[in-house]
Structures are given as structure tokens and as C-alpha cells.
Structure 1
Amino acid sequence: ACLRAYNDWHIDEWAGSHPGRFIPLPLCALWSPQLSAQEVRRVARKGATAIAFSQAPETFGHPSIHSGAWDPFFAACQEEDVTIAIHIASSNMVVTGDSRETPIEVASTLPCWNSLTCAAHLLWCKSLVKYPHVKIALSEGGTSWISGFLDRMERQFHLQRWMKSDLGGLRPTEKFRRHFLACFICDPSGLLLRDRIGIDNIAYEVDYPHSD
């Protein structure tokens, strides 16, 4: 009830105060794939086109995307044409180092690499074979890591053919371009490699008034 109340306020009052300018991003019920699927369908009827999700729900004690438990959620997102928005640091797997002496600069440098880990899990997730039209936005994930990531994926896919990896008849780069939107704020290297990444898979975002 609290989640629905928040999402209703977020869509109707916050985003609704400036239609066409504010785009709502409701939350899913991360503790329940079934409730999340229901919420996707409910907020879609209210005009929402995206919903927030975690980089790794299992790090909060919830089912992994590899378990199949999230299939109702993926199915709902595909059927309702709702994009899954996954923000950096939206899990407990944030790579910062465990030392108390680790400087804060390390924490501010590494979050984008969590998007790499998240993308790897999603690309090899069987659910994306079952639901080939699911769209995923890697919010604030950056783009400069993607070309090397795709190179590694392609090499692994080719050299480890004995694993019989199934990407729905696609190669890793094709799979990435089908499902993902990479969002960046300031990423000169990523722009230089835009053709390797896929020009239609890159979105510019603004983080004002945040320091990024």
C-alpha cells in the first residue's frame, strides 16, 4: 500500500505538476516479483513508461534474476512496453573496497563499473531470451566501458563455444544493442567509441544539481 501510494503521488502530483517536462519513474516491489509485475501493469495504465529496478536484487536477500522468479516482472515490462531503469549503486554489490582507510575518491570513481557487472548478468540471463523485447536503461552507468566489455563478451562467446551459450540466436553485441540504453553525463572516450557501442544505444543525461 505504501509503495502504491508513493507511486501514485509521484505520477499524479509530482510528474503531473509539469506534464511533458517531468517523466515519472515509479518503484517496483523489489521484495516480490509478482507484486512488481502487478505494479508495472498498474503504473503503465497511469501513463508510466519506465520503472526502477536493482542492479542485483539478490544482494538484498531477494531472488536473483537468474532464478526465473522475475519472469513475471520481465513479461509485464515487455507486454506494457515499460523500460527497466537500473541506476548505479542500486544494490549491495557496490565496489569500493572494504578498508576503512579507503579514500572517498575511490567510491566516486568506481560506481560505473557496477553497471558492467549488472550488464553481464543481464546479457547472460535466460529471461532476456524468453522476453526479447525488454528494454533496460543503465542510468548514470556511463559508456566508456562498453566497447571493451563487448569485445570480451564476443571473445568469450567465440572461444567457449563448448558452453553452448544461448543468446536467442544473437551475438553479444547484437544482444546488447537490442536490450540496452547506456546513459552518460560526461564520457569523452565513450563518444569516440560510439559506433562500436551503437549510436542508437546511447543517451545523454543531466545530473543537475548533483556534483556529477
Structure 2
Amino acid sequence: MLDGGWAATPPGWRGLGWRSDARPESRAATLGGGPTTTYQPAERLQAMDVDRVDYSVLYPTVAGLAGKTFGRLTDLELEVACVQAYNDCLIEEWVHVSPRFIPQCLVPIWPVEATVKELRRALARGHRGVIFPAVPMHLREVPHINEPEYDPFWATCQELEVPVCFHAGASPQIQFPAYKDLSPGLAAALSALTRPVSSVQVVANFLYSRILMRFPTLKIVFTESSLGWGAYELETAEAVRCVQGNRGEGEAHLHVSLTPQRRETSVARHHGAG
């Protein structure tokens, strides 16, 4: 549905229960008005078979794309209880149904000791990745994500070879706000259009943050971010760094390979640049 009009069924959405003739009143028995394939694991598997999807990587919805609903909590005991309930639910309600569901845990965003403790607990239960807000300081008063206070978290992820996943649009403050007179449909369309490119700012921060220099084998995932802008950003980041950076402290030269066989970014530091 876009701006009051019901669209045709998108290709590849047949199994997910998308119906172009569906109306909210005809779906009143489903959770939140959505098809049961979105919240019933067994039916989800059938939908995946229809659409020829082998695996489904699980991201939160009610908890926010990066767990921001829990991350805003200032009561640590409550935040820990919420993320543990979410993490355990994924294992017990989804992974136990099928290994085709790939669980990714949430963690308390602060203090870092609680972050690491829950990360280790969740991984021991079977989680395969960790979801973290790219801009945690937008949620509550915590250190900037580039601060070394987070190093125990990065170090643990690197040690256990677990990817840290950042979902596009998880920080609405870095997206363009919708004009107040836009219809709900067009406001949603604007959000869908600007959400992927909001990752441009997140990637730029990681390029200059030195986090990946301190933890060179850390695995980072940017989800639903598209890729068309990637080569441009990497090339520009290197050029701008060389021109405007503090050349006396060494330069970060960014190298990217975008061949079909291999897509990777590596950061090499060259000391003593004049």
C-alpha cells in the first residue's frame, strides 16, 4: 500500500502472504494485521520454501532494528532482563524449529561489562551474531561508540569471531525527517528510500574511528545498506583523509576490491607521512 493505493503483489513476496487485495479488516485475526508467516516459525519456513530462501537471519522488530527499545532503558537490571528474554526466545521459539533461522543476539549497550557478559551467554546458547546500535549515544547518555571504553566488546567479538551487525535505519536521527504534510504512505516511502543510505555515515565513522585498526580482524556487517555507494565512499574517504587529515600522525589508506568473487575493505596504516 502506497499513499492510499493498494499495489500489485511484489515479485518474491508470494510466500510471505502478501496479497494485493487484502484489507486490514480481513486480517484482523493476525498479529498486528500482518500475515502469520511473519511470526509463526513453521509457516515462515513454508513461505521461505515458496520463495526459494535457504536461510533467514533474524533481526528484531518490536525491540527496534538495533534493540533501541531496550537500549533506551536506564535501569540496567530491566535492560538485561529484556535482552535475555529476547535472546532466549529466538533460540527456543525459532532455532529449535529449524537451523535455517540464524539468530543474532541483542546486548545491553552499557556498561561494557554487562555487554560482554550477555554476549558470551547468548553465543553459548547458539546465537551467531550480535546486533548493536551504530550511534548508542542517541539512545541515552553513554560514551561515543569510538571511545576505547567499548574496546572489551570489540575484543570479545574479535576473539570469538562473531560479526557485529549494524542495520540501516536503526538510528532515525541520521535520516532525513519527513515533511509534516506528507501522507503516511509517502512518509513511509521517504523513510524506505533514505534508510539504506543512512549507512553512509556509519561506514564513514568506522573508516576514521581507528576501531578497525585496533581490532583488524573484527567482522562488521552493514545490513540492508545497498552497495552502489560503497566504492565512491571508500575512494572519497581516502582522498579526503590525505588532503585534510593530520598527516603527521600517519594516514589511513583505504583499499577496496569489488570483484564478483571477493568484496572486502582493508585498512593499511602508513606511518611517518610528511
TM-score w.r.t. length of structure 2: 0.59
Distance 2:190 2:249 in 1: 35
Residue 127 of structure 1, CA deviation: 2.6
Partner SS state of residue 115, structure 2: helix
The amino acid that maps onto 1:89 is G
Partner SS state of residue 69, structure 1: helix
Residue 150 of structure 1, CA deviation: 0.9
Residue 149 of structure 1, CA deviation: 0.3
1:52 corresponding residue in structure 2 = 131
1:121 corresponding residue in structure 2 = 205
The question of 1:171 aligning with 2:253 is answered: yes
Instruction: Confirm or deny: 8 A CA contact 1:27 1:52 kept in the other structure.
Output: yes
Q: How does 1:58-73 map to 2 (within 5 A)?
A: 58-61=137-140, 62-73=142-153
Distance 1:98 1:165 in 2: 41
The amino acid that maps onto 2:109 is L
Partner SS state of residue 79, structure 1: helix
Residue 4 of structure 1, CA deviation: 1.5
Instruction: Confirm or deny: 8 A CA contact 2:178 2:191 kept in the other structure.
Output: no
Match of 1:15 among 87, 95, 98: 95
Aligned residues: 180
Q: Could you report, residue by residue, the CA deviation over 1:58-110 in whole angstroms, capped at 9, with x for unpaired residues? A: 11123211222211111111111110011011124231236313542322211
Question: Which of the pair is proportionally richer in helix?
Answer: 1
Residue 44 of structure 1, CA deviation: 2.0
Instruction: Confirm or deny: 8 A CA contact 1:94 1:111 kept in the other structure.
Output: no
For the structure 1 residues 49 and 118, does the alpha-carbon distance in structure 2 shift closer, same or farther, using more than 3 Å as the test? Answer: same
The question of 1:4 aligning with 2:84 is answered: yes
For the structure 1 residues 24 and 166, does the alpha-carbon distance in structure 2 shift closer, same or farther, using more than 3 Å as the test? Answer: farther
2:103 corresponding residue in structure 1 = 24
1:143 corresponding residue in structure 2 = 227
Q: Which runs of 5+ in 1 are unaligned?
A: 178-193, 203-212
For the structure 1 residues 17 and 113, does the alpha-carbon distance in structure 2 shift closer, same or farther, using more than 3 Å as the test? Answer: same
Distance 2:250 2:218 in 1: 17
Residue 166 of structure 1, CA deviation: 5.3
Question: Considering only aligned residues, what root-mean-square deviation do their CA atoms show, in Å?
Answer: 2.5
Residue 201 of structure 1, CA deviation: 4.1
Distance 1:114 1:27 in 2: 21
Partner SS state of residue 87, structure 2: helix
Q: Could you report, residue by residue, the CA deviation over 1:111-150 in whole angstroms, capped at 9, with x for unpaired residues? A: 1121110011112123322111111110101101101101
Residue 198 of structure 1, CA deviation: 7.9
For the structure 1 residues 16 and 115, does the alpha-carbon distance in structure 2 shift closer, same or farther, using more than 3 Å as the test? Answer: same
1:185 corresponding residue in structure 2 = none
Aligned-pair identity in percent equals 26
2:196 corresponding residue in structure 1 = 112
For the structure 1 residues 27 and 119, does the alpha-carbon distance in structure 2 shift closer, same or farther, using more than 3 Å as the test? Answer: same
The amino acid that maps onto 1:160 is Q
Residue 164 of structure 1, CA deviation: 4.3
Q: Could you report, residue by residue, the CA deviation over 1:145-190 in whole angstroms, capped at 9, with x for unpaired residues? A: 10110111121132235344657xx62235xx7xxxxxxxxxxxxx
Instruction: Confirm or deny: 8 A CA contact 1:59 1:92 kept in the other structure.
Output: no
Distance 2:117 2:248 in 1: 34
The farther-off stretch of 134-143 and 94-103 is: 94-103
The question of 1:76 aligning with 2:165 is answered: no
Q: Which runs of 5+ in 2 are unaligned?
A: 1-80, 266-274
Match of 1:155 among 209, 219, 239: 239
